[in-house]
A and B are shown apart, each in its own frame.
Chain A
Amino acid sequence: MKTLRILFAKELNAILASPIGYTVSAVFLLVLGYTFSLTLFTTKVANLQYILHQMYVLSILLVPVLTMRSFAEERRSETLELLLTAPVGELSIVLAKYAATLTLVLGMFAASLLYALILDRYGEPDWGPIYAGYLALMLHASLLVAVGLLMSSLTENQVVAAALSIGTFLMLWFADSVSYLLPPPFDSVAINLSLIGHFKPMVSGSVFLSDVGYFVTASMLALFLATWGLAQR
């Protein structure tokens, strides 16, 4: 546990010392703030559904930028071998990178809570869907970061890692649209692979535990494969 804590602090420091985190966060908040204010001024509706969907899309595009370095950079600069030969387990390394990146992403999301406070100040928003929406975003971020780390662990080229991540996310996003072409039970698998299919009900305040389970199990699967892949080296 202590090893994990030390590794986490090291990874978080590395992220905070890098300009990438600040750039991505600033762009994220700029686009989001612009959309939020214009949507609010136009519709005058006190809910965050539109913004939560915007965050969903933006995180699909930006999380790969945050995760692409994690293993690919270490492999390129040959520090990964050093790390793997140190007296720390592969699981600790993966979990530390995962927790540090997730902390940054959740920090970005947390900044958007200001929008909810603004709505509360000037209106009476329904808080249920907002809570459920942030839960959905946290689970979504968890999955994106886990898959991003897995992709980064497969290559030493950061751009390839980011491209693989974005490709995977986009495929998962639209997985259900091909279901009608597939025979059973593959059509059901395609529908249940869909990211948006599990995300959308939660944002509207309708929480199915199976949707939560999808994000949790998929994140665990990605982390397992990343760890197992590293262990094979």
Chain B
Amino acid sequence: MSAELANIGWFFGVVAALALLFAAGLKLPVRIGSTSRVVTAVLVVGAALTVAILANVALFRHDAYLDLTREKAFTPSAEARDLVLALKEPIDVAYFYQKQNPGARALTTMLSQLERQNPNFHVQLIDADQSPALANSLGVRTYNSAVLRAGDRRIEVVTTDDREIALGLLRLMRQREMVVCFAAGHGEYDIDNFEFHTHFEGAQSHHHDASGLAVVQMEQHGIGRLRRALEKLGLVARKVSFATGQAIPDDCAVLVEANPRTAYSPKESELLRRYLERGGSAMVLVEPDYVLDDSIAAVLARAGVKIGDGVIVDPRDHYFTDEQMIAVSRYGTHPVTRGLSLSFYPGARPLETVAAADVRVVPLATSSTESYIISDRLGKRVEPETGPPAARIIVLASEGRITEAAKPFRLIVAGDADFVSNSFFPYLGNSDVVLAGIAWLTREERAPTMKPPVEVLPTVTLTGAQMRGIFIVTVLLMPGLVALAGVAMWWRRR
């Protein structure tokens, strides 16, 4: 802030100095010394131009900046700021930008602001057109490339977005490869599938599970979009199958079980229990119709979680007209839920917390207090089946120790899986929920999510009469009044 004030001081100083110089210039004689009038004129004009150019160079080098947009579109994101603030080792950023690109110019401003946050963050802003040799020496071949260096590690990011720089920093600081393992072997969502479809909402509501197949036959959604987002965060996505009896690999920073369709065997449940005992992190996403094996239910119960049956119906908080598509805007207090916006869960089963020693369970997302549960999703009967309406847990986080001797585990369970599928992942806050969840599970709470800041254009709704009124005032009345004033003036002076 003090640097900003100093630069504002520079601005007024430079303008005042220029005014004084010009005032002094007006006192110059018609001929300076023995020179002719023409030579004097050339000298004075040349000197004035030089002084004005130098003033602009000084202002450019001591620039101050104000972001007046409501969304602070030209101010570094909170994620980028937090990440830079947390830097413990020196990072050098050389940004080769193109001056004609306003986005790149905005990013130079943001990088300069970030540099002031932490002395470990050094920024070098380089005009790519003026320093091609320097760009070549660093292997930069594209405009608006940032070369991030820490020791002998190096990453190049081509961007005009500060979040991409933040993600680059995250990848640079990560000392080892971080692997997110996706469980396979039970018909789970495929991470190589990028298919998605739009949805129709009919009289029998909205279905994405096996019962839905009775209505419309379609391929299951994939979760390729989630995988891409993780890879953009610098994480490695890999499928693992432990149905063969092999242990869940130790290099799995997180195990994601997304929408299993067939039951676990007791041996597989035991492998999952051992993984959590070793201090593993897991995310379990199950759909309403999935029947849990007793063995896996027991493992989850040891982690403080019980997965209920049926489907939540929320007459108050739902997305569009589908009461089974639960919309959540208020979240439990947890590192995962910081700054989350509205998310929605198409067809969710209720979760419950159960008492477990050395385990802390926090509900992350719940339905409204008017929600109830039904079991017959396709039937006509929609009245509550489980007592009076009440808030139901949809997503929860659990952490602690499976046994006294075990290492601390982290677990996120959701009673819905398709909110992360390709069809729903990019919308509203869904991607934020799952990416923030994975960041917590990998113990990288500061990791920024990849959702870009969305500029919401303020819109107006006008009736026909209002449009006519605006047209008459702006096109006819205003120019007409001015023209009339002109005619009146001419008439008076005629």
Contact A19:B458 (CB < 8 A) given known A191-B100, A206-B106, A217-B15: no
A20-28, A61-69, A70-78, A158-166: which lies at the interface: A20-28
CB of B482 within 8 A of CB of A126, answer no
CB of A228 within 8 A of CB of B26, answer yes
In the complex formed, the residue of A with least CB distance to B131 is A184
B59 interface hit (Cβ, 8 Å): yes
In the complex formed, the residue of A with least CB distance to B73 is A205
CB of B41 within 8 A of CB of A45, answer no
* Min C-beta distance of A124 to chain B, whole Å: 5
Interface string of A78-95 (1 = CB under 8 A from B): 000000000000110000
Which residues, 60 to 79 on B, are CB-close (under 8 Å) to A? Answer: 60, 63-71, 73-74
A156 interface hit (Cβ, 8 Å): no
In the complex formed, the residue of B with least CB distance to A200 is B102
Instruction: Specify which chain B residues have a CB less than 8 angstroms from the CB of A114 in the assembled complex.
Output: 473-474, 478
A103 interface hit (Cβ, 8 Å): no
CB of A225 within 8 A of CB of B475, answer no
B214 interface hit (Cβ, 8 Å): no
Which residues, 77 to 125 on B, are CB-close (under 8 Å) to A? Answer: 99-100, 102, 105-106, 109
The 8 Å CB contact of B7, one of A25, A209, A231, is: A209
* Min C-beta distance of B243 to chain A, whole Å: 54
Instruction: Specify which chain B residues have a CB less than 8 angstroms from the CB of A171 in the assembled complex.
Output: none
Contact A30:B479 (CB < 8 A) given known A205-B68, A218-B52: yes
Contact A217:B25 (CB < 8 A) given known A122-B461, A128-B70: no
A119 interface hit (Cβ, 8 Å): yes
What band does the interface of chain A fall in when counting residues whose beta carbon is under 8 Å from B?
Answer: 35 or more
Contact A23:B474 (CB < 8 A) given known A46-B460, A207-B68: no
CB of A37 within 8 A of CB of B458, answer no
CB of B45 within 8 A of CB of A47, answer no
Instruction: Specify which chain B residues have a CB less than 8 angstroms from the CB of A227 in the assembled complex.
Output: 26
Cα distance A214–B58 in the bound complex, in angstroms? 11
The 8 Å CB contact of A40, one of B48, B460, B486, is: B460
10 contacts between A and B (CB under 8 A): A30-B479, A33-B478, A41-B462, A44-B459, A45-B459, A118-B474, A124-B458, A187-B130, A208-B65, A209-B59
Cα distance A163–B474 in the bound complex, in angstroms? 30
B14 interface hit (Cβ, 8 Å): yes
In the complex formed, the residue of A with least CB distance to B462 is A122
Cα distance A119–B457 in the bound complex, in angstroms? 13
Instruction: Specify which chain A residues have a CB less than 8 angstroms from the CB of B479 in the assembled complex.
Output: 26-27, 29-30, 33
* Min C-beta distance of B104 to chain A, whole Å: 12
* Min C-beta distance of A182 to chain B, whole Å: 10
Cα distance A212–B99 in the bound complex, in angstroms? 17
In the complex formed, the residue of A with least CB distance to B10 is A209
Cα distance A183–B489 in the bound complex, in angstroms? 54
In the complex formed, the residue of A with least CB distance to B63 is A210
Cα distance A122–B479 in the bound complex, in angstroms? 22
Interface string of A161-191 (1 = CB under 8 A from B): 0000000000000001001100011011101
Instruction: Specify which chain A residues have a CB less than 8 angstroms from the CB of B37 in the assembled complex.
Output: 232
CB of A209 within 8 A of CB of B482, answer no
Instruction: Specify which chain B residues have a CB less than 8 angstroms from the CB of A232 in the assembled complex.
Output: 30, 37, 41
The 8 Å CB contact of A213, one of B14, B67, B71, B487, is: B14
CB of A221 within 8 A of CB of B48, answer yes
CB of B70 within 8 A of CB of A126, answer yes
CB of A189 within 8 A of CB of B53, answer yes
Q: Which of B11, B44, B52 has the most CB of A within 10 A?
A: B52
B49 interface hit (Cβ, 8 Å): yes
CB of B56 within 8 A of CB of A210, answer yes
Contact A224:B26 (CB < 8 A) given known A192-B56, A192-B60, A204-B69: yes
B390 interface hit (Cβ, 8 Å): no
Cα distance A45–B457 in the bound complex, in angstroms? 6
CB of B458 within 8 A of CB of A217, answer no
Cα distance A124–B459 in the bound complex, in angstroms? 7
Q: Which of B37, B44, B45, B69 has the most CB of A within 10 A?
A: B69
B42 interface hit (Cβ, 8 Å): no
The 8 Å CB contact of B130, one of A44, A184, A225, is: A184
B136 interface hit (Cβ, 8 Å): no
A129 interface hit (Cβ, 8 Å): yes
Cα distance A126–B72 in the bound complex, in angstroms? 11
Inter-chain contact total with CB atoms closer than 8 Å:
201
Instruction: Specify which chain A residues have a CB less than 8 angstroms from the CB of B48 in the assembled complex.
Output: 221, 224-225, 228
Q: For the complex, would chain A's binding face be called helix, strand, loop or mixed by DSSP majority?
A: helix
CB of A213 within 8 A of CB of B55, answer yes
Q: How many residues of B contact A (CB 8 A)?
A: 68
A1 interface hit (Cβ, 8 Å): no
CB of A187 within 8 A of CB of B486, answer no
Q: Which of B44, B127, B482 has the most CB of A within 10 A?
A: B482
In the complex formed, the residue of B with least CB distance to A107 is B482
Contact A44:B461 (CB < 8 A) given known A19-B489, A29-B482, A228-B26: yes
Instruction: Specify which chain B residues have a CB less than 8 angstroms from the CB of A91 in the assembled complex.
Output: 26
Cα distance A27–B37 in the bound complex, in angstroms? 43
B8 interface hit (Cβ, 8 Å): yes
Cα distance A124–B460 in the bound complex, in angstroms? 8
Cα distance A231–B37 in the bound complex, in angstroms? 12
B256-264, B428-436, B464-472: which lies at the interface: B464-472
CB of A123 within 8 A of CB of B59, answer no
CB of A221 within 8 A of CB of B65, answer no
8 A-B pairs besides A47-B458, A213-B11 with CB distance below 8 A are A33-B479, A111-B478, A118-B473, A207-B67, A207-B68, A209-B7, A213-B14, A213-B15
Please give me the 4 A-B residue pairs with the lowest Cβ-Cβ distance, nearest first: A22-B486, A128-B68, A33-B474, A123-B460
B235 interface hit (Cβ, 8 Å): no
CB of A210 within 8 A of CB of B471, answer no
Which residues, 194 to 223 on A, are CB-close (under 8 Å) to B? Answer: 197, 200-201, 204-210, 212-214, 216-218, 220-221, 223
Instruction: Specify which chain B residues have a CB less than 8 angstroms from the CB of A17 in the assembled complex.
Output: 489, 493
Interface string of B25-55 (1 = CB under 8 A from A): 1101010000001000100110011001101
Instruction: Specify which chain A residues have a CB less than 8 angstroms from the CB of B55 in the assembled complex.
Output: 213, 217
Cα distance A170–B207 in the bound complex, in angstroms? 61
In the complex formed, the residue of A with least CB distance to B70 is A126
B19 interface hit (Cβ, 8 Å): yes
Instruction: Specify which chain B residues have a CB less than 8 angstroms from the CB of A98 in the assembled complex.
Output: none
Which residues, 9 to 62 on A, are CB-close (under 8 Å) to B? Answer: 16-17, 19, 21-23, 25-27, 29-30, 32-34, 36-37, 40-41, 44-47
Which residues, 105 to 124 on A, are CB-close (under 8 Å) to B? Answer: 111, 114-115, 118-119, 122-124
